[in-house]
């Protein structure tokens, strides 16, 4: 066995354990294997080891790898900051875009998806920590953006994503994960037409177990699978 497949097995076991511990069905937590800076060759090994979902942060880097790996049966998720002028490539390559945080970006993705007759699945990135430097929409603007997206025929909003302000500090990030879940629950109760925020993308190598305890349905893990970047 390669190190990657051992790492992957260990992560899958920890995901299952965290879900069971939280009283959740492990099948409701999906692993997004984060492959930024990792070569196509090494990603190929990860796919051989059983990876089915890849997360990439940069469009240009992802395009190169996508061309090299294109025939392989793997789903690509975009998890980085997306510039409006790159929406076209994001729509062509990615099954889920985790980081929609403005109506301008949503409109650009909608436009590009319409051109290729696709309904693009997206998550809305929420800035819970209120830091000016972080991407994500402020909590108080989530409803307005959700209503706008619901009017866009080529977008399907599936949930929320967040990046907490600290890494590798599970107890400090827990309140941020909890808040994202509470926002999700609030909107599920409001039942806005065309808005279903079932998915929660939160948790990375240092804190995914806490994220699962707080309701994550996607965990985005790179370092624990590929090693330090
Ligand atoms: C890099 C990255 C990850 C993975 O982080 P690790 O600590 O390597 O697991 C997850 N989400 C986003 C948005 C990232 O940029």
pLDDT of residue 132: 65
* Cα 221 to ligand 1 centroid, rounded to whole Å: 6
pLDDT tens digits, 147-196: 999 999 999 999 999 999 887 788 899 999 999 999 999 999 999 888 89
With a CB cutoff of 8 Å and minimum separation 6, the contacts of 174 are 210, 213, 214
User: Alpha-carbon distance 118 to 110, whole Å?
Assistant: 9
Minimum CA distance residue for ligand 1 atom 7: 205
State in Å: Cα 76 to ligand 1 middle. 15
DSSP label at 176? H
- What pLDDT is recorded for position 165? 85
CA 204 to ligand 1 centroid distance, Å: 6
Count other Cβ atoms within 10 Å, centred on residue 25. 9
pLDDT digits (tens, 9 = 90+) for 59-73: 999 999 999 998 888
Write down the pTM of the prediction.
Answer: 0.97
Question: Average of pLDDT values for 194-223?
Answer: 96
Strand boundaries in 27-154, DSSP class E: 30-34, 53-56, 75-78, 96-100, 120-127, 137-138
Q: Which residue of 53, 58, 79 sits with most ligand 1 atoms within 8 Å of its CB, as the best mutation to test the pocket?
A: 79
Crossing angle of helices 3-21 and 40-48, in 10° steps, is 60
The backbone region for 192, taken as left when phi is positive above 0, alpha when psi lies in -120 to 50, beta otherwise, is beta
For residue 35, pLDDT beyond 70: yes
Ligand 1 site: residues with CB under 6 angstroms? 34, 36, 57, 79, 163, 204-206, 220-223
């Amino acid at each position: 066995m390669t190190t990657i497949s051992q790492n992957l097995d260990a992560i899958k076991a920890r995901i299952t354990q965290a879900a069971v511990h939280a009283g959740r069905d492990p099948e409701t937590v999906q692993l997004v294997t984060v492959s930024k800076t990792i070569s196509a060759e090494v990603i190929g090994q990860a796919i051989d080891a059983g990876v089915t979902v890849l997360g990439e942060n940069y469009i240009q880097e992802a395009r190169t790898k996508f061309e090299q790996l294109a025939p392989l049966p793997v789903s690509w998720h975009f998890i980085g900051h997306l510039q409006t002028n790159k929406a076209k490539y994001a729509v062509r390559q990615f099954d889920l875009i985790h980081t929609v945080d403005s109506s301008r970006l949503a409109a650009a993705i909608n436009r590009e998806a319409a051109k290729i007759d696709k309904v693009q699945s997206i998550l809305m990135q929420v800035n819970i920590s209120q830091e000016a430097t972080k991407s994500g929409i402020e909590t108080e603007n989530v409803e307005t953006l959700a209503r706008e997206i619901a009017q866009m025929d080529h977008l399907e909003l599936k949930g929320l994503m967040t990046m907490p302000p600290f890494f590798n500090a599970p107890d400090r990030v827990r309140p941020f994960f909890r808040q994202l879940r509470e926002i999700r629950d609030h909107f599920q109760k409001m039942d806005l037409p065309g808005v279903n925020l079932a998915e929660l993308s939160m948790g990375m190598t240092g804190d995914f177990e806490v994220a699962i305890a707080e309701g994550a349905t996607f965990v985005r893990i790179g370092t624990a699978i590929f090693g330090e970047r």
